[in-house]
Chain A
Amino acid sequence: MIERVQRRLVIAAAVASLIALDLPAIAYPTMPIDLYIGSAPSGSTDALGRVLSRSLEAELGQPVVVHNVPGAGGAVMATRLMNSAPDGYSLGLTISHAYTGNPVVMPDVTPYSVGDFTHLATVSKGQCALVTSTNKPYRTLEDLIAAAKDGEQPVFASQSPLTRIVVDYIARAEDIRFRVITVQGGGEIMQNILGGHADFGFSGGPHVNYVAAGQMRVLASVEDARLLSSPEVPTLKELGYDISSCSTFVVSAPPGLPEAMQAILSAALQQAIASPAMQTLISNLQYPEHYLGPADVTAALNAEAGMLERAVASIAGSADSQPGDRLSPAFMPIVAATLGGIAVVALCVAGLFARQGVAAATATRRIDWTFVGAAAAVMAAAFAIMTLLGYLPGAAVMVAGFMALGRASLRVIIGSAILLPVALWLLFAELLGFPLP
């Protein structure tokens, strides 16, 4: 891993010096490019990333290697991207909310903002809507709001703070109350709506088939424009609520990417996104085409961030849009800690009766601390070496350490420390195709 970084820095320096000399063309790309996807494998972002990588390979003539870096809705990947070298060999694909929403909603843990990246293109965008079941009596959003004003408290199924922001905004504007349940993922939202447990919910796209089958109904588009699949339904903005909360899929690079590389990359991206493979995937996902080049992407992201900031500010302090959640986030940790604490106390008390005292709960006398210390040292060393030098050295250290602890002969230690890591590397990296450090 270190060698690659060093190599890239050398190449970046060479390229920079070439540019300084004002030579017309640069040799880029000359190495495989890493595309970091800000989501777990599978899902629309991942699918888009993988197909994009193949189309991009065709344009650039170099392999584009996909790495999944899930976490925090794309923020973990974004942070890593921001800290990567701006040498044109690191790209990131994630939803725009990672750049515009996370810094606004979770500023303390998001160490970046929109301007900390070189944004290159948008690939497509989601189709976000407020949906309800056809079994419910609400035909339009106005019906729902009227019911809320009547004293009902409709239940809203949300996926994250960025999806419920819409409903909080409406509640504030109309001085009504909703009950919000937060579930994991679009599938659960569909489930709750179909099962009648939620009156309406936020959908990023999976509702389309159910609307076509007559089981669901779209109340409003949460986009800036009307939905492709439900063009007769108004947007929230048309209904008078100045908010939208839908993500685009954005390709970005670390800050400070040289102009020449930006030009090459954005031209290649434009072609790759327009490729038949990408267009087929996008229409299969029922998303619209939505390409923006570098000049427009940053402006669009800034606008989105600004809108979200305003929305968050306007609903600040409206904890009253969430009635009934008498259980705070601290509830579960307290319950678990209490349960565990009672059990530990019970163990100690039982031990006292058997005259073993606290040791009954821990039986520390039975533990061989030399072994624990040695094993921990082996694992720490293996971890450090794997981080710094890569998989093979780290694995070798681990095998050697464990074999040594197991009192194997020196020949066996060395032999297995060499053979086993190589064997596993062959299995995982070569045969199965997983990238190992």
Chain B
Amino acid sequence: MEAILAGISGAFDPVNVAFVVLGVTLGIVVGAIPGFSAPMAIAIGVPLTYAMSPVSAIAFLLGVHKGGEYGGAISSILINTPGEVSTALTALEGYPLAQQGKPRKALLMSLYSSVSGDVFADLVLIVSAAPLAVLALRMGPPELLGVLVFSFAFIAGFLGGSLAKGLVALAAGMLLATIGLDIETGSERFTFGVLELQDGLPLVAIAIGVLVLGEVLFQIEAYFRNAAEDAGRTHIELRHGSEDRLSWRELKSCRGAILRGSAIGTGIGALPGLGASIAAFLAYGFERRRSGAPETFGKGNLEGLAAIESANNAVIGSSLIPLLTLGIPGSATAALIVGAFLIHGITPGPFVFRENPEIIYGLFASLLLANLVNLVIGNLGLRFFAVLLAIPRKFIVATAALLCLTGAWVSAGSMFGVGVMLTFGVIGYFMRRLDYPYIVLLIGFILGPMFERALRHTVILADNPFNLAIEHPLLPLLAVFGGYVGWRGTRARRYS
């Protein structure tokens, strides 16, 4: 009990609050830059946290994450330049509203839905994490294997775009993760005698390269070919017209959509793997099918927007559930946050509730605090963020490139990390150009080794497969269920 109170009061320490505010602001700003998204903001943010205390570091990153999701909505709604799948849906519903002269309405609906989704998911996390952690301690290698098999099937089923390209990205990620010393036998895999590769490729360097530098190169190329659309500045006006307000009644009428979006986001985000993009997609589809007027979707439907935004943000909190209980991240961004945890000496997993309970409760309090900060800053800063979009993009892009360089050096401590980052920047560029899903590369890189270890441990521990299935029923159950879900997902996509 003492630890809980200590943790909560620590979260309201002025320094911690300052970091949360900083994080949310940074997240909104970076997310608002066209083409940039929350995962990129976090990739840049992780090296910045080295100097912070563990709770502040995680609170900062979570603030960046929450702010980043909302920031992505800003550029999607105002100038129709989404950074990823989830924000593409926001643009679909939000941009028409802006074109109809109601940008502020769309932005405020987005903000309130986002915060609602956040609060919902965070409360679920807080209530369920500790009991789940106790349960999770009993999950051994076979059960973890089941969870991961399910995740892979889920990912395969819901990959956007070409399934084959997604699988190539996934396989590439998994292959890259095998570089290094094999943990079981100590033998070398693909290290070519390079000492630095013994620990494998550094995740943060890869993330910064693929997510941010790849985007930078992609955008510079547009200027190179003189194909950039806004070579100059963009003027966005947020008028004070009476139609451009969000009335209480309008907000209330969307409360069902918000609730449903939050629930879907929380549920999906808790599954390890590809939470974020899928949650918004599913919430939107569900809302549209439920709606009495599906033809109004795509033309500025507030309920659709509410569902998307609440699902998007709910994923953030719920992706911490598998992270804190099993140590398995619920999304690529959560994986980056794992990296931050490890740097600060905390091994996420059921253990962390016993070892560092004050950190967990400090984290919970910081999450709720971040939601409040997000609401306040998002509201007050509307006009400011619109102005931000008018900064010539070349400066933003160049700054982002420098942040990559600096962040890679800081996180790796040597030019090796910088070299890895640059290489993966090129890879990220090619993936964007050739329509390969780069997030899936990261997911494969992160989940691959977990899958391998769970599988090898299961094989070591098991005497024979039949005993295994009887003693650990969760494994075959999850595998079959995963196969079913994946198959349904593939079929649904084909018909959508």
A residues touching B (Cβ–Cβ < 8 Å)? 40-43, 67-72, 75-76, 79, 105-106, 108-109, 111, 155, 160-161, 179-185, 187-188, 190-192, 194-197, 324-333, 335-337, 339-344, 346-347, 350, 362-363, 366-368, 371-372, 374-376, 379, 382-383, 386-387, 391, 394-395, 398-399, 402-403, 405-408, 412, 416, 420-421, 424, 428, 432-434, 436-437
Contact = CB atoms under 8 A, between A and B. Distances in A.
A41 B50 contact: yes
Nearest to A75: B195
- Which interface class (under 10, 10 to 19, 20 to 34, 35 or more) fits B? 35 or more
A184 B342 CA distance: 11
Interface string B431-457: 001110000000010001000110111
A332 B137 contact: no
Given A187-B349, A383-B422, A406-B223, A71 B168 contact: no
Given A109-B188, A406-B398, 18 more contacts: A71-B199, A106-B186, A155-B461, A181-B456, A188-B347, A188-B351, A197-B461, A336-B171, A340-B167, A343-B165, A347-B162, A374-B224, A405-B221, A406-B223, A420-B395, A432-B48, A432-B51, A433-B51
Contacts of A106: 186
Interface string B386-411: 00000000110111011101100110
A383 B141 contact: no
B14 interface: no
A336 B168 contact: no
18 contacts: A41-B343, A69-B413, A71-B195, A76-B195, A105-B186, A161-B185, A181-B461, A195-B140, A324-B459, A327-B459, A331-B456, A343-B165, A343-B171, A362-B434, A379-B425, A399-B398, A406-B397, A434-B51
Contacts of A433: 51
Contacts of A386: 405, 415, 418
Contacts of B460: 155, 179-181, 324-325
A329 B182 contact: yes
B355 interface: yes
B216 interface: yes
A85 B272 CA distance: 48
B186 A382 contact: no
B377 interface: no
B196 A71 contact: yes
Given A71-B199, A79-B195, A434-B50, A332 B422 contact: no
Given A70-B413, A407-B224, A325 B459 contact: yes
Nearest to A399: B398
Interface string B72-114: 0000000000000000000000000000000000000000000
A332 B448 contact: yes
B397 A109 contact: no
B345 interface: yes
Nearest to B142: A197
A347 B195 contact: no
B198 A391 contact: no
Contacts of A367: 430, 433-434
B455 A327 contact: yes
Contact of B189 (A42, A329, A342, A371): A329
Contact of A421 (B196, B402, B462): B402
Contact of B221 (A72, A179, A371, A394): A371
Contact of B168 (A108, A188, A340): A340
B138 interface: yes
The 3 closest A-B pairs by CB, nearest first: A340-B171, A42-B345, A187-B347
Contacts of A341: 171
A383 B421 CA distance: 11
Interface string B333-356: 000000000111101011100010
B226 interface: yes
Contacts of B302: none
Interface in B445-496: 448, 452-453, 455-457, 459-462
B225 interface: yes
B399 A420 contact: yes
B187 interface: yes
Q: Which DSSP category, helix, strand, loop or mixed, fits chain A's interface? A: helix
Given A340-B172, A347-B168, A406 B50 contact: no
Contact of B186 (A155, A160, A335): A160
B409 A407 contact: no
Nearest to B226: A407
A363 B140 contact: no
Contacts of A195: 137-140, 350
Contacts of A326: 459
B175 interface: yes
Q: Which DSSP category, helix, strand, loop or mixed, fits chain B's interface? A: helix
Given A160-B186, A387-B415, A402-B401, A434 B410 contact: yes
B160 interface: no
Given A347-B164, A379-B425, A436-B409, A336 B175 contact: yes
B9 interface: no
Nearest to B455: A327
B51 to A, nearest CB: 5
Q: Kindly name the residue among B191, B199, B224, B462 whose own CB sees the greatest number of chain A CB atoms within 10 A.
A: B224
Nearest to A394: B405
B398 A416 contact: yes
A281 to B, nearest CB: 14
A73 to B, nearest CB: 9
B23 to A, nearest CB: 14
A333 B430 CA distance: 23
A182 B184 contact: yes
A187 B355 contact: yes
Contacts of B164: 343-344, 346-347, 350
A135 to B, nearest CB: 12
Nearest to B456: A327
Interface string B284-325: 000000000000000000000000000000000000000000
Contacts of B422: 379, 383
A336 to B, nearest CB: 4
B426 interface: yes
Contacts of A350: 164
Nearest to A363: B434
Nearest to B185: A329
B171 A339 contact: yes
A382 B162 CA distance: 36
A64 B456 CA distance: 44
B187 A329 contact: yes
Contact of B175 (A71, A337, A406): A337
Nearest to A192: B140
A331 B398 contact: no
A328 B186 CA distance: 11
Interface in B28-87: 47-48, 50-51
A22 B307 CA distance: 81
Contacts of A379: 422, 425-426
B401 A383 contact: no
B429 to A, nearest CB: 8
